[in-house]
A and B are shown apart, each in its own frame.
Chain A
Amino acid sequence: MAKYLLLKHYRGAPAPLHNVPMDQWTTDEFDTHVRFMRDFAKKLEDTGEFVDAQALSPDGVWVRGDGEGKPPVTDGPFAETKDLAAGWMVIDVDSYDRAIELAGELSAAPGAGGKPIYEWLEVRPFMEAPPAFTD
């Protein structure tokens, strides 16, 4: 088993095939989309492959320390040009191929006109635990 992160971006990813901003969708289309996402997570729980799903607010800042006794320095909000992660799903699957298959399904979430968005998702393997057999 291996865990993978399916990472969704607000911006920074290549444009989706079916690229209509969400606020231009009908409310029905939007509700259908949200239901799809919920059902997708539920389906993965039923198949025993779901680990986690979270959404991130687009608001955020850069932070760094600035020396002892001084408050941390912040910079932001993020520049419009920066990659911006929107959220993720973590899955625990038997193979890389399965991770790709599921990412493909998730990418096809319905959008405007009920048509699949086909957005780009980033698929990243987790670091594993070190193996016990080493010789």
Chain B
Amino acid sequence: MDEVELRALVPQVLGVLVRRGADFATAEDAVQQALIRATASWAQTPPADPKGWLITVAWRAFIDLARSDASRRDREDEFGSTPPLGAVPDADDTLRLYFLCSHPALSPSSAVALTLRAVGGLTTTQIAQAYLVPEPTMAQRISRAKRAVADAGVGPSGDARTVMRVLYLVFNEGHSGEIDLAAEAIRLTRQLASVIDEPEVDGLLALMLLHHARRRSRTNSDGSIVPLAEQDRDVWDTELIAEGVAIVQQALRRDRLGEYQAQAAIAALHADAHRFDETDWPQIVEWYDELLAITDTPVVRLNRAVAVGEARGADAGLAALAEVDETVPRRDAVAAYLHEKRGQLELASRLYVDAARNAPNMAERNHHTHQAARLNEVLRAKAVDDAAGE
């Protein structure tokens, strides 16, 4: 059993402990201890029943933690050693944990950290590395999150929507590190989809799969950005694409459209094109219209303007862009692209310079600067030609 399979058991094991009456915070620590012991001893002596082993070891660890906690507070241990298992299915335990970890009392970053640890089974060290913060900081973030969940008591916990938001963030923030957060987000979303009947969760899973499948084509080995039109579609993961397309199609048939399904439908249309010029832009525009009706945000409007530019030409794209808030990130880059299509190279070059200045990350800044330099080369060569022609 590899590390990922081991971690897949975490929500069930933690669920059993909580169902037996363990408090969430202590139980979560106990499960982490059991995971560490499993990693240490299973290579030599793998258990016949890994889940049973984890439950037994985690429960003992919990008793120890609870006892020392109880003696600190100078009161009797209130837990027996082997209470009976309730008849609650694993799926309910798992779902309850997801909801707990995306409790509305938590900030997004706290919910992300708690989900990765309590549901994902990652260690604090791994989470700290993934988010580029010191380990004590991440340890505090997680323990505060656990306290906040405990203090909030039995009131309403998170729901499918808040959980999806958390998983979306995990996928989108894809920092590099020992842990592949995108793969982890997919694993957790897949697990969520297996315990809840909600087309939007399927939509989110499909969306992640369809982006993950194309991940390798989006950057060069040096991390620089490859625009969609120039991506090598031969390196796309066709199995993941097939799976993503099947999942979103099935979700859409249930006629309960939501933003993740609409985004997945758009991603599916991109993935479906074997060449850039085979992209079904008119249909992508239609999906952006659907998405706009569900969630009218500047980012959706901006992406729609790109699609309109491809479907109906640069003028139509610029008209759509005029409806987009001036302050939205990446607007200048879209404007530059559309103006270049119209042959306005000087304006496009200036817009790329603006885009580079406001880029939220180095890869985009370098990309836009490169575009501006490319256009300026063209303009210089043209000036030389014009001078020679006179």
A interface residues (Cβ-Cβ under 8 A, vs B): 1, 3, 44-52, 92, 94, 127-135
Which are the 7 A-B pairs with shortest beta-carbon distances?
A: A48-B141, A1-B109, A132-B174, A48-B140, A94-B107, A130-B363, A127-B361
Contact of A1 among B108, B140, B266, B359 (CB under 8 A): B108
CB closest residue in chain A, given B223: A130
B303 touches A135 (CB 8 A): yes
CB closest residue in chain A, given B181: A132
Not counting A92-B131, A92-B137, a sample of 16 additional A-B residue pairs whose C-beta atoms are within 8 angstroms of each other reads: A1-B131, A45-B137, A47-B141, A48-B140, A49-B141, A51-B137, A52-B134, A92-B133, A127-B359, A127-B360, A132-B171, A132-B173, A132-B174, A132-B182, A132-B215, A133-B172
B interface: dominant SS:
helix
Given contacts A1-B108, A129-B173, A130-B225, contact A48 B360 (CB under 8 A): no
Tell which of A3, A46, A48, A49 has the most Cβ of chain B within 10 Å.
A48
A129 touches B133 (CB 8 A): no
Contact of A135 among B134, B270, B362 (CB under 8 A): B270
With an 8 A cutoff between CB atoms, is B103 at the interface? no
With an 8 A cutoff between CB atoms, is B211 at the interface? yes
Min CB distance, A90 to chain B, in Å?
9
With a CB–CB cut-off of 8 A, which chain B residues contact A3? 132
A135 touches B267 (CB 8 A): yes
Given contacts A133-B207, A133-B211, contact A47 B144 (CB under 8 A): yes
Which chain B residues numbered 154 to 183 have a C-beta less than 8 Å away from chain A?
Answer: 168, 171-176, 182
Contact of A130 among B137, B141, B364 (CB under 8 A): B364
Min CB distance, A99 to chain B, in Å?
13
Min CB distance, A47 to chain B, in Å?
7
The answer for the CA separation of A21 and B24 in the assembled complex, in Å, is 51
CB closest residue in chain B, given A48: B141
Give the interface residue-count category, chain B: 35 or more
Min CB distance, A61 to chain B, in Å?
27
Which chain B residues numbered 96 to 142 have a C-beta less than 8 Å away from chain A?
Answer: 107-110, 112-113, 131-134, 136-138, 140-142
A49 touches B362 (CB 8 A): no
Min CB distance, A52 to chain B, in Å?
8
Contact of A127 among B141, B172, B225, B365 (CB under 8 A): B365
Which chain B residues numbered 199 to 224 have a C-beta less than 8 Å away from chain A?
Answer: 207, 211-212, 215, 218-219
Which chain B residues numbered 341 to 390 have a C-beta less than 8 Å away from chain A?
Answer: 359-365
Given contacts A128-B361, A133-B171, A133-B172, contact A50 B108 (CB under 8 A): no
With an 8 A cutoff between CB atoms, is B263 at the interface? yes
Given contacts A127-B362, A130-B361, A131-B172, contact A45 B211 (CB under 8 A): no
CB closest residue in chain B, given A46: B140
CB closest residue in chain B, given A92: B133
The answer for the CA separation of A131 and B108 in the assembled complex, in Å, is 16
Tell which of B108, B137, B142, B218 has the most Cβ of chain A within 10 Å.
B137
A134 touches B218 (CB 8 A): yes
Contact of B360 among A45, A50, A128, A134 (CB under 8 A): A128
